[in-house]
C-alpha cells in the first residue's frame, strides 16, 4: 500500500514525541515531565459556561469565521494584550486550536516551492505543515548562548528570492525563549525589507516570568499589514481539550484562511466557542494563579538542573525548560531512554524539536511541584551514575 500514499505524506517522519510517548504509556508509575499540557483543570466558571451552552441547546454550526460574540471578545482581548486592533467582522477567524490556525495559514500562503523560515528548536508541527503545503521548510538554528532568541543576522543569511513566510513562536516551545523589543525590531525590519509575511504563534504569551514584557511583532511599525497573529486558549486557560484558537490579520489573509477552513473544518465547535467567550472575558485571575504556580516550579526545576551540573537556560516564558545534557557524554535519546528505564522519569529528547536540539532535553513543568521534586531527585541520582559511565551499555 505504501506506493499509494502521497509521497510527501509517506516521507513525513512521525513526531518524535509520539514515538517516545508510546514507550512511556506502556510503563507504570512514570513521572512525566514530557507533556506540553497544563496539569490544571479548566477553571470552573469556564466549564460552567460550556455546560450552560449545552443546556440552552446551542448545538449547531456557527458562522465559518466563528461566533460574532467570540470575535468581538477576541478583538478586545488582542487589543489589550498585544496592542494591535483587528475588526471582528473581517479580520479574525476562530479555528480548531492554534494547530488548525498554523495549518490553514500556511496552506493559504504557500505556493509549491515557496520557502518558509522558522527558528529551531521549535514546535513539532511547523516543518511538517510546510511540507504538507508543498512548501520548503528552512530552519534557522537558535543557540543557548543567545538565549535561544532569533538572531537577525542568522535570519538574513537564510533569506532567498523564494523566501515568503517567517514563522515565529515566542515564548518558544521547547526552550522557553522570549524576544526583547530591540531584537524583535531587527527581525521586523528584515521582514519589511524582504517583503516577508509573518505567522506569529503567540500561544504562550500570558505565561511569562520576572515581569518580562510580551512583544508581539504584529504591533511593530509596518508589520500589521504583513502579519498573521495566532493565539488560543489551550495553554494559559488550561483548555487544551476545548480546541479553540484564532487568527488575526489583514482581511485578505484572513479571507484566504477562511476559504481553507470552511472546506476543511467548517467551524470550531460551538460549545467550546461559548466557553472561550467566558475565558477571555473573565479568566484573567485564574490565568494569573496558574502563571504564579508555573513560576515557582520554573525556579525550582532550573536551580535543580543547574545543581546537577546540567547547564540550563532560565526561560522567561512557556512551561518548558531545555537543559543541556551533553556534559554526561550521552546523546539526548540515550539520556532520555536511560532516565526512563532507570528512574521512571520521562522527558523528551531535544532532537524531537529539530536537529539543534541534540545535546538537550525538554522538561515540561506543567506537573505538580511534589512530582517535580521527586523527578529532580531521581534525575540527580541518574546524572551521577551517568557521569560514572554506568549506563554506557544499558541504553
List residues binding ligand PLP (CB under 6 A): 36, 97-99, 123, 169, 173, 201, 203, 232, 234, 240, 245
- Which are the contacts of 368, defined by CB distance < 8 A and separation ≥ 6? 39
Between strands 227-232 and 245-248, the pairing is: antiparallel
Residue 125 CB, nearest distance to ligand PLP (Å)? 7
Q: Cell for 252? A: 485578505
Residue 56 CB, nearest distance to ligand PLP (Å)? 25
Residue 178 CB, nearest distance to ligand PLP (Å)? 13
Nearer to ligand PLP, 105 or 308 (CB): 105
Nearer to ligand PLP, 226 or 235 (CB): 235
Nearer to ligand PLP, 203 or 363 (CB): 203
Could you give the CA distance from residue 226 to residue 79 in angstroms, rounded to a whole number?
17
Could you give the CA distance from residue 393 to residue 103 in angstroms, rounded to a whole number?
42
Helix, strand, or coil here: 164? Answer: strand
Residue 242 CB, nearest distance to ligand PLP (Å)? 9
Residue 98 CB, nearest distance to ligand PLP (Å)? 4
Could you give the CA distance from residue 85 to residue 216 in angstroms, rounded to a whole number?
12
Nearer to ligand PLP, 234 or 367 (CB): 234
Nearer to ligand PLP, 224 or 235 (CB): 235
Nearer to ligand PLP, 328 or 364 (CB): 364
Residue 243 CB, nearest distance to ligand PLP (Å)? 7
The torsion of the CA quartet 289, 368, 39, 105, rounded to 10 degrees, works out to 80
Whether the CB-CB separation of 261 and 100 falls below 8 Å is answered with yes
Phi/psi region, residue 140 (left: phi>0; alpha: psi -120 to 50; beta: rest), is beta
Report helix angle 284-307 to 369-387, nearest 10.
20
Cβ-proximal residue to ligand PLP, closest one: 97
Amino acid at each position: 500500500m505504501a506506493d499509494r500514499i502521497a509521497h510527501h505524506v509517506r516521507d513525513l517522519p512521525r513526531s518524535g514525541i509520539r514515538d517516545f510517548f508510546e514507550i512511556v504509556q506502556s510503563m507504570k508509575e512514570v513521572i512525566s515531565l514530557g507533556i506540553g499540557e497544563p496539569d490544571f483543570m479548566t477553571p470552573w466558571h469556564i466549564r460552567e459556561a460550556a455546560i450552560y451552552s449545552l443546556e440552552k441547546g446551542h448545538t449547531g454550526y456557527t458562522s465559518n469565521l466563528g461566533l460574532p460574540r467570540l470575535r468581538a471578545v477576541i478583538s478586545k482581548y488582542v487589543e489589550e494584550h498585544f496592542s494591535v486592533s483587528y475588526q471582528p467582522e473581517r479580520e479574525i477567524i476562530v479555528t480548531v486550536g492554534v494547530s488548525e490556525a498554523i495549518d490553514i495559514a500556511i496552506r493559504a500562503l504557500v505556493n509549491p516551492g515557496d520557502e518558509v523560515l522558522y527558528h529551531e528548536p521549535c514546535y513539532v508541527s511547523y516543518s511538517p505543515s510546510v511540507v504538507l503545503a508543498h512548501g520548503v521548510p528552512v530552519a534557522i538554528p537558535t543557540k543557548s548562548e543567545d538565549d535561544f532568541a532569533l538572531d537577525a543576522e542568522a535570519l538574513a543569511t537564510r533569506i532567498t528570492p523564494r523566501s515568503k513566510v517567517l514563522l515565529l513562536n515566542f515564548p518558544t516551545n521547547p526552550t522557553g525563549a522570549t524576544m526583547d523589543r530591540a531584537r524583535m525590531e531587527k527581525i521586523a525590519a528584515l521582514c519589511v525589507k524582504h517583503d516577508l509575511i509573518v505567522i506569529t504563534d503567540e500561544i504562550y504569551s500570558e505565561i511569562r516570568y520576572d515581569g518580562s514584557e510580551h512583544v508581539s511583532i504584529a504591533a511593530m511599525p509596518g508589520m500589521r499589514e504583513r502579519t498573521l497573529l495566532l493565539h488560543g486558549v489551550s495553554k494559559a486557560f488550561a483548555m487544551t481539550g476545548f480546541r479553540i484558537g484564532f487568527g488575526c490579520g489583514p482581511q485578505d489573509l484572513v479571507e484566504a484562511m477562511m476559504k481553507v477552513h470552511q472546506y476543511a473544518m467548517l467551524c470550531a465547535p460551538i460549545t467550546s466557542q461559548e466557553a472561550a467567550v467566558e475565558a477571555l472575558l473573565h479568566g484573567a485571575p485564574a490565568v494569573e494563579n496558574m502563571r504564579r504556580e508555573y513560576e515557582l516550579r520554573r525556579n525550582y526545576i532550573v536551580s535543580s538542573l543547574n545543581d546537577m551540573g546540567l547547564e540550563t537556560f532560565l526561560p522567561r516564558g512557556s512551561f518548558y525548560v531545555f537543559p543541556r545534557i551533553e556534559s554526561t557524554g550521552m546523546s539526548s535519546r540515550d539520556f532520555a531512554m536511560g532516565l526512563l528505564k532507570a528512574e521512571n522519569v520521562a522527558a523528551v529528547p531535544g532532537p524531537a524539536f529539530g536537529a539543534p536540539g541534540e545535546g538537550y532535553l525538554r522538561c515540561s513543568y506543567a506537573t505538580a511541584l511534589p512530582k517535580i521534586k521527586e523527578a529532580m531527585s531521581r534525575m540527580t541520582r541518574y546524572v551521577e551514575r551517568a557521569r560514572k559511565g554506568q549506563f554506557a551499555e544499558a541504553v
